[in-house]
Amino acid sequence: MSPRATTGVSNSAPVTIYLTRHGETMLNALGRVQGWSDAPLTSKGRDVASQLGTGLAAAGVTFDAAHAADMIRHGETLALALEGLDFAGEVGRDARLREMAFGRFEGASNAEMWEAVAAEAAKANGGAAVDESAFDFKRGLEAMVRLNEGSGLVAETLAEVTDRAFAALTEIAENQLARGGGNVLVVSSGITIMAAIGAMGADLEKATGGIGNAAVAELQYSGGSWTVATFNDLSYVEAGKAAAEAAA
């Protein structure tokens, strides 16, 4: 995908956003669909959020600002990560960073939703079964939206999620540029992260298994342009886990 352009122009130092997914939640652990529905972190999720902060600190990464989506899981993840960092700034919350809305599938089992989506995608493919090994992420989400028609519930398209997430991240970056640049920690959700970095030019075929809990995408913003340096990077969590085990 070709990266989107923005209209921002600045002579300030560049901004680097460390975009991460929230830690594991109760709904994640139960294998339930979690978009606009919400749940607190599990003990595993709390651990991985803390390990993220410890790992970032060990790597010498400091932050000038911090933001998270507006749900419990995002706020808990950010707070736990920041405990391991020397951060005394304000925390911003933004609903545009939340996960995709899955409509009638919210709270259902993941298996139920994806089986229904695969069947709908096959129907749209002339009745031919969809090869799971080549299952198209975008086509699957389009099928999810069709299955929600008439439900009266919010089910977002990938384009809608991309637009809001890209706008939120660009606004965060532009605001930080106005303050002289620097690093920003942002907590969001898996599909939203994939949508945003895809719009920035990332090759999503490298994330076929999804975005890991507390995995980091390093996004550089300068002169109105985005560069995805890395994504789905669990090295900070792994370093934080190793440090915790060594201190035990």
* 23 labelled ligand-binding: yes
* 25 labelled ligand-binding: yes
Reported in sequence order, the residue ranges of the chain that DSSP labels E, i.e. its strands, are 15-21, 65-68, 91-93, 182-188, 216-222, 225-233
Question: pLDDT tens digits, residue range 84-109?
Answer: 999 998 899 999 999 999 999 999 99
Q: Is the pLDDT of residue 12 over 90?
A: no
**Among 39, 29, 24, 33, CA closest to 109:** 33
Contacts (Cβ under 8 Å, ≥6 apart) of 4: 166, 199, 200, 226
Laid out side by side, the sheet with 216-222 consists of 91-93, 65-68, 182-188, 15-21, 216-222, 225-233
* 27 labelled ligand-binding: yes
Classify 217 as helix, strand or coil.
strand
- What pLDDT, on a 0 to 100 scale, did the predictor assign at position 55? 98
State the catalytic residues.
Answer: 22, 99
- Burial of 7 per CB tally in 10 Å (0-12, 13-18, 19+): exposed
- What pLDDT, on a 0 to 100 scale, did the predictor assign at position 133? 45
Question: pLDDT tens digits, residue range 169-180?
Answer: 999 999 999 999
Give the total residue count for the chain. 248
Element (H, E) at 58: helix 43-58
User: Is it true that domain 15-100+156-247 has CATH number 3.40.50.1240?
Assistant: yes
- What pLDDT, on a 0 to 100 scale, did the predictor assign at position 123? 86
- What pLDDT, on a 0 to 100 scale, did the predictor assign at position 129? 59
Question: pLDDT tens digits, residue range 119-165?
Answer: 998 887 776 655 554 457 788 899 999 999 999 999 999 999 999 99
Annotated domain spans of the chain: 15-100+156-247, 102-155
Q: How far is the C-alpha of 229 from the C-alpha of 39, rounded, in Å?
A: 31
Q: How far is the C-alpha of 188 from the C-alpha of 77, rounded, in Å?
A: 10
The structure's pTM equals: 0.92
* 98 labelled ligand-binding: no
